[in-house]
Amino acid sequence: MKIFYKSITDNMAQQRFEEFHVIPQKTLWCCKKLNDHDSQYSLWNVKWAKFYFKDISPDGNMAFFPMYHCPYCGEKIEYEQIDSTSN
Which residues make up the interface to Zn ion (CB under 5 A)? 30-31, 34, 70, 72-73
The residue type at 38: D
Strands (E), the chain: 2-10, 17-22, 44-45, 50-56, 62-66, 78-82
> 80, 87, 70: which is closest to 5 by C-alpha?
80
By beta-carbon proximity to Zn ion, the closer residue of 26 and 47 is 26
By beta carbon distance, the residue nearest Zn ion is 70
By beta-carbon proximity to Zn ion, the closer residue of 8 and 73 is 73
By beta-carbon proximity to Zn ion, the closer residue of 47 and 76 is 76
Please report how close the Cβ of residue 70 comes to Zn ion at its closest, in angstroms: 3
